[in-house]
Chains A and B, each alone.
Chain A
Amino acid sequence: EIVMTQSPATLSVSPGERVTLSCRASQNVGSNLAWYQQKPGQAPRLLIYGASTRATGIPARFSGSASGTEFTLTITSLQSEDFAVYYCQQYKNWYTFGQGTKLEIK
């Protein structure tokens, strides 16, 4: 099973700041990686697929990148609605998710 490790578990940031979330795969997944945003009591929402392609309707302040087995989700100029939990997911070999990074208001 491919293990996805996200760091940090929690990130405290202020609105307007830029933030980078990390996700590491235990083996090569190529670009078969997606990012999701989940708010309390809601289902996850797809943000990024193919490691760097924004899903339909996702604002340009969200971007994804990859370097080997390391993936990052960057959010520029954090808005109040961006404070949530973010999950990465690989789909190279079945499907596994990271444990999530919670973005909280500083």
Chain B
Amino acid sequence: QVQLQESGPGLVKPSQTLSLTCTVSGGSVSSVGYYWTWIRQHPGKGLEWIGYIYYNGNTFYSPSLKSRVTISEDTSNNQFSLKLTSVTAADTAVYYCGSSHDNNWGGGYFDLWGRGTRVTVSS
């Protein structure tokens, strides 16, 4: 059974880069057809899709965050990562890693989620 676990700093200073890692256990980031995804939730608010890295390394990002986001994978450690540059208080949120699959209507819905990690942007 595949499980996901986020890790990274809980506090980031404004203008710096937020870096989070998602460790995949019980499966492989190279498994065919998977979309390894980052989603965030601002305090008391709804959910916002950030982007994903497909199992073959292709990446797709939310248009609103595209200029600041990089998602990459580390196959040797079975992880994928999120980098968000030039953060402001508006980037304070709980960040979830998740996954979808080609079988999920072409990567449409997310049936696996990590527990989330809270990141606060503050000096």
Partner of B48, one of A45, A97, A100: A97
A49:B108 contact, CB within 8 angstroms: yes
Residues of B within 8 A of A14 (CB): none
Partner of A43, one of B49, B107, B108, B113: B113
Bound-state Cα–Cα, A44 to B49, Å:
13
B115:A42 contact, CB within 8 angstroms: yes
Given A34-B108, A89-B109, is A97 in contact with B114 using a C-beta cutoff of 8 Å? no
Residues of B within 8 A of A97 (CB): 46-49
B96:A49 contact, CB within 8 angstroms: no
Interface size on A, as a range, is 20 to 34
B105:A46 contact, CB within 8 angstroms: no
- Chain B interface helix/strand/loop/mixed: loop
Bound-state Cα–Cα, A32 to B96, Å:
22
B interface residue numbers (CB < 8 A to A): 45-49, 60, 62-63, 96, 98, 104-105, 107-111, 113-116
Q: Given A32-B108, A49-B105, A99-B45, 16 more contacts at CB 8 Å?
A: A32-B105, A34-B110, A42-B115, A46-B109, A46-B110, A46-B111, A49-B104, A49-B108, A49-B111, A56-B111, A87-B47, A89-B109, A91-B108, A96-B49, A97-B49, A99-B46
A interface residue numbers (CB < 8 A to B): 1, 32, 34, 36, 42-46, 49-50, 55-56, 87, 89, 91, 94-100
